[in-house]
Amino acid sequence: MTHSGLGTWPARRAAISPGRVALVHAGHATTYAELAVRVDRLARRMRAAGVQPGDRVAYLGPNHPTFVETMFATYAAGGIFVPLNVRLAAPEIDYMLGHSGARLLIHAPECAPVVRACPRVSGLIAVALADYDTWLASGDAGGPPEAEVAPDDPACILYTSGTTGRPKGAVLTHGNVVWNTFNLLVGVDVAGDEVTLLSAPLFHVAALHQCLLPTILKGGCGVIMPAWDVDGAYDLIARHRVTWMFGVTAMYAALASSPRWPDADLTSIRRLLIGGSAVPEALVRAYQRRGLIFCQGYGMTETAPGATFLEAPEAATRPGSAGPPVFFTDVRCLRPDLSDTDPGEPGEVVVRGPNVTPGYWNDPAATRDAFTDGWFRSGDVAVTDREGHFHIVDRLKDMYISGGENVYPAEVEAVLFTHPAVAEAAVIGVPDPAWGETGRAFLVPAPGFTVDTDEIRAFLDGRLARYKIPRYIDVVDALPHTGSNKVRKTSLRATPLPGTPPYER
């Protein structure tokens, strides 16, 4: 086996533990031996269809075993994998297909209307999952094609959600992904008998590289959920005795708000990974009361994704900390003049290490702007403590300035979350004639509660400085979420303002 990339992982794991179950989906189990055979056959089928080393292969669909097969087969064939977000509209998907130059697209049946609406699909090979097994069976079962793959070769292009203009395609090399896996395994004792709930979308980097790949490397079992569902998660945890999972704050908050929370059997769970946004201490404490500890991390697509990590032994006594830098990576917190901040002083997070992207696909300007002296600029604000642990404050782009004072919405959201009537909270900055900007909070009531906006303001008074208390409070049935279950604040910013509230500071 001369191929040195990620595409060899199924075959290498099958040689060690062929009979272990690799994946479970909709009651069907796939062993490592079976997974390796299907990946090898698919890689040869791709080559027969004209996919050459360096060609891009896209996948559009919810979590499914074919996602895993397509990814590994692309790597085995020397190609570059492009997972696409199922929540995007046809023009967005069409742009990514064109920008990446995808040669092959494999897609789920429910995505067919979007695929048909993409003009660029006519210029590539498109395979629907309904035809996938027939297409796969026509390939050669003689083993994977030989492909020269080096650690610095691109493995995947992951499109980041665009905050301004078009989304950017972050390139991750085979080496980036492998070093991220090493960092994760230093921080988490992943075992060969692991049962990992893959409930967050695999087309995002956290579930893909923090859960799926470490589980496969160690020979554990991945239990695949097509999409996040609270009751479905509880059912799968009980049925398969799930030992770990990754989620964002909204997912764990939904579990804790469910009527099943007090009586659910969660004794099989060894650890929970959480990331994607600042984590309210109240949520951490709610899980600690059930004997469950969050291993909180911080990262981004461009760091594959791990940058900092709080290991389980420290997590119980450091709620809210994102931990120190991961083992093989350096992280700093900088002032605007690029000097290091003092403990407790907010600054921008910058990252350097073997897991950091070499840049953005076909975008030298964005690549150049993303780095300063070899350090990747995250656009995130953090403070460090005297022990060197990072506490993520917010995104620079989400911060707003009210009367000359910086306000970080994540801080306000964390306090709102402690109110028993609040299940979810999102805060944005909006224009204000008196103060320049002010806060607007969107609140989802907890089951059985009614949110009284005046009572919420009274609750915040004394817990937050007056200028941080949102002037506008909207009570909504649900918040809009991205494909990774983060709150989509761009949609909230597009919501027209209600009538002008009184000015009280």
- Pair (405, 371) in one structural domain: no
- Pair (341, 476) in one structural domain: no
- Pair (145, 219) in one structural domain: no
pLDDT digit string (tens) for 353-406?
A: 999 999 999 999 999 999 999 999 998 889 999 999 999 887 777 878 787 677
**Which of 84-88, 152-156, 466-470, 500-504 holds the top average pLDDT?**
152-156
* CATH code (residue 426): 3.30.300.30
pLDDT band at 163 (very low <50, low <70, confident <90, very high): very low
Please check whether residue 173 lies inside any domain of the structure.
no
Asked if 296 and 246 count as a contact pair (C-beta separation under 8 A), the reply is: no
Is residue 11 scored above 60 in pLDDT?
yes
Distance CA 38, CA 445 (A): 46
First to last CA, the chain: 68
Looking at 144-228, which runs of residues are DSSP E strands? Answer: 154-159, 169-173, 195-198, 221-224
- Pair (421, 358) in one structural domain: no
Looking at this protein, which amino acid is placed at residue 486?
K
Asked if 230 and 256 count as a contact pair (C-beta separation under 8 A), the reply is: no
Please check whether residue 157 lies inside any domain of the structure.
no
- Pair (240, 354) in one structural domain: yes
Distance CA 327, CA 82 (A): 28
Distance CA 455, CA 282 (A): 19
CB atoms within 10 A of CB 404: 8
Please check whether residue 82 lies inside any domain of the structure.
yes
- Pair (382, 404) in one structural domain: no
Please check whether residue 469 lies inside any domain of the structure.
yes
Please check whether residue 253 lies inside any domain of the structure.
yes
Closest CA to 380 of 408, 403, 348: 348
pLDDT digit string (tens) for 444-456?
A: 999 899 999 999 9
Please report how many Cα atoms fall inside a 13 Å half-sphere around the Cα of residue 307, on the Cβ side.
Answer: 29
Is residue 504 scored above 60 in pLDDT?
no
End position of a domain, from candidates 395, 413, 448: 395
- Which residues, listed in sequence order, are joined to residue 440 by a DSSP beta bridge? 428, 472
pLDDT digit string (tens) for 99-142?
A: 999 999 999 999 999 999 999 999 999 999 999 999 988 866 56
Q: Give residue 1's pLDDT.
A: 44
Is residue 277 scored above 70 in pLDDT?
no
* CATH code (residue 283): 3.40.50.12780
Mean pLDDT of 45-66: 96
Domain of 371? 179-395
- Pair (382, 409) in one structural domain: no
Angle at 461 between CA 456 and CA 462, to 5 degrees: 135
* CATH code (residue 42): 3.40.50.980
pLDDT band at 166 (very low <50, low <70, confident <90, very high): confident
Q: What percent of the chain has pLDDT over 90?
A: 70
The answer for residues whose C-beta is within 8 angstroms of residue 279's C-beta and 6 or more apart is 249, 294, 296, 320
pLDDT digit string (tens) for 469-484?
A: 999 999 999 999 876 6
pLDDT band at 144 (very low <50, low <70, confident <90, very high): low
- Pair (389, 411) in one structural domain: no
- Pair (390, 313) in one structural domain: yes
Looking at this protein, which amino acid is placed at residue 369?
D
Distance CA 382, CA 365 (A): 26
DSSP assignments along 268-318, one per residue:
T--EEEE-SS---HHHHHHHHTTT--EEEEEE-GGGSSEEEE--HHHHTT-
pLDDT band at 81 (very low <50, low <70, confident <90, very high): very high
Q: Is the dihedral of CA 15, 19, 20, 25 positive or negative?
A: positive
End position of a domain, from candidates 367, 395, 423: 395
Q: Give residue 164's pLDDT.
A: 46
pLDDT band at 490 (very low <50, low <70, confident <90, very high): confident
Closest CA to 261 of 281, 289, 241: 289
Place of tokens 């569902």: 229
Please check whether residue 159 lies inside any domain of the structure.
no
Is residue 16 scored above 50 in pLDDT?
yes
Please check whether residue 174 lies inside any domain of the structure.
no
- Pair (295, 343) in one structural domain: yes
Please check whether residue 48 lies inside any domain of the structure.
yes
Mean pLDDT of 90-96: 91
The answer for residues whose C-beta is within 8 angstroms of residue 48's C-beta and 6 or more apart is 138, 139, 140
Q: Give residue 135's pLDDT.
A: 92
End position of a domain, from candidates 133, 149, 165: 149
Weakest mean pLDDT among 17-26, 96-105, 217-226, 253-262: 253-262
DSSP assignments along 327-356, one per residue:
TT-EEEEE-TTSPBPPTT--EEEEEESTTS
Q: What percent of the chain has pLDDT over 70?
A: 95
- Parallel/antiparallel/unpaired status of strands 271-274 and 56-60: unpaired
pLDDT digit string (tens) for 247-264?
A: 988 789 889 999 999 999
Distance CA 452, CA 445 (A): 10
Distance CA 154, CA 176 (A): 9
User: What distances in angstroms separate CA 412 from CA 250, 415, 490, 496, one per listed residue?
Assistant: 16, 5, 18, 21
- Pair (221, 353) in one structural domain: yes
- In the chain, the number of structural domains is 3
By three-state DSSP, how is residue 3 classified?
A: coil
By the 10 Å C-beta count (0-12 exposed, 13-18 middle, 19+ buried), 314 is classed as middle
Is residue 270 scored above 50 in pLDDT?
yes
Asked if 13 and 219 count as a contact pair (C-beta separation under 8 A), the reply is: yes
- Pair (306, 269) in one structural domain: yes
Is residue 15 scored above 90 in pLDDT?
yes
Q: Is the dihedral of CA 412, 413, 415, 421 positive or negative?
A: positive
Closest CA to 326 of 167, 480, 214, 481: 214
Mean of all residue pLDDT scores within the chain: 91
- Which residues, listed in sequence order, are joined to residue 401 by a DSSP beta bridge? 406
* Omega prior to 325 cis, within 30 of 0: no
Q: Give residue 396's pLDDT.
A: 73
pLDDT band at 70 (very low <50, low <70, confident <90, very high): very high
